[in-house]
Amino acid sequence: MNVGRRSAAVLTLASVASLMMFVWPLLVRVESQSTQHGTDAPFVFIGILPILIIVVLAELSEGGMDSKALAMLGVLSAVNAALRPLGTGTAGIELVFFLLVLSGRVFGPGFGYVLGCTSMFASALLTAGVGPWLPAQMMCSAWIGMGAGLLPRRVRGKAEIAMLAGYGIVVAYLFGFLMNLWFWPFITNADGHISYVPGAPVLENLHRFVVYTLLTTTAGWDTGRAITNAVAILVLGPAVLTTLRRASRKASFASVR
């Protein structure tokens, strides 16, 4: 599906605004390093809700979604919410992302964006995982679903599965990178070489952050997540893609890919 102008504009503005949630400590001086987003998270969450509504309305108005697509959105959100506790994040094993990638691939970027948010929200309610980290998780997952919908459309067969598996590996590391960036400036008692320095140049703090990420999560949690995504897509991807595309054809979704 080609993204309509209205949907593209909404997704672009929403993504730019959401990105600021992660990078603003690199651009301004953060005086306090003790809150870890505990006070601003509710306001960010409140800001996400109208964004989701606008994305859905834009998709509805341009034919990217209809009532059947919304029903499928609810089903897939529930399935993702049920899958997430199976891995519980142990050693980076998280099963929620592979279905998000495959769904975004089939139903398009707008659908994938909303599914990423609703999946994380539903799973947080199911696992009592509601906290200040939830808005950041929702936005990262939204980008994963949206990105899957923007991948080249003409690729099919084994090449498509390989492409999606590679995408699953890349986004696994990006998810860890962004989630680390979300809380890293607010860590206290960190080593001076890897901790945030208020007011330091952007490149200096970014270098410190990259070193911190490589030393803490890249080789462990992020790699475990990448392996899980790749294996799940390689093993289950062909069958799941066939099932989703069959369901979309029977429902006559305009966004089938």
What is the reported pLDDT for 39? 56
**Res. 55: pLDDT tops 80:** no
In DSSP notation, 87-125 reads HTTGGG---HHHHHHHHHHHH-HHHHHHHHHHHHHHHHH
**Contact in structure between 221 and 149 (CB atoms under 8 Å):** no
What is the reported pLDDT for 255? 46
What is the reported pLDDT for 250? 72
Q: In this predicted model, which residue has the larger pLDDT, 219 or 144?
A: 144
Domain borders along the chain are 5-251
Residue of 127, 219, 140 lying closest to 182 (CA atoms)? 140
Count of Cβ atoms closer than 10 Å to residue 16 Cβ: 9
**Res. 202: pLDDT tops 90:** no
Count of alpha carbons within 13 angstroms of residue 87, beta-carbon side? 22
Q: What is the pLDDT of residues 152-199, one digit of tens each?
A: 989 999 999 999 999 999 999 999 999 998 888 877 555 567 888 877
Tell me how many degrees the CA angle 217-110-75 measures, rounded to the nearest 5.
80
Tokens of 169: 């590996």
Phi, psi torsion values for 31, nearest 5 degrees:
-80, -45
Distance of alpha carbon 23 from alpha carbon 197, whole angstroms: 14
Mean pLDDT of 235-242: 95
What is the reported pLDDT for 110? 86
What is the reported pLDDT for 23? 83
The confidence band for 40, taking pLDDT boundaries of 50, 70 and 90, is: low
The confidence band for 135, taking pLDDT boundaries of 50, 70 and 90, is: confident
Mean pLDDT of 203-225: 88
**Contact in structure between 230 and 168 (CB atoms under 8 Å):** yes
**Res. 254: pLDDT tops 60:** no
What is the reported pLDDT for 36? 55
Considering the four listed CATH numbers 1.10.10.10, 3.40.50.620, 1.10.1760.20, 1.10.1200.10, the one that applies to the domain covering 5-251 is 1.10.1760.20
Q: What is the pLDDT of residues 111-122, one digit of tens each?
A: 899 899 899 988
Helix, strand, coil share of the chain (percent; to 5): 75, 0, 25
**Portion of the chain with pLDDT greater than 90, in percent:** 32
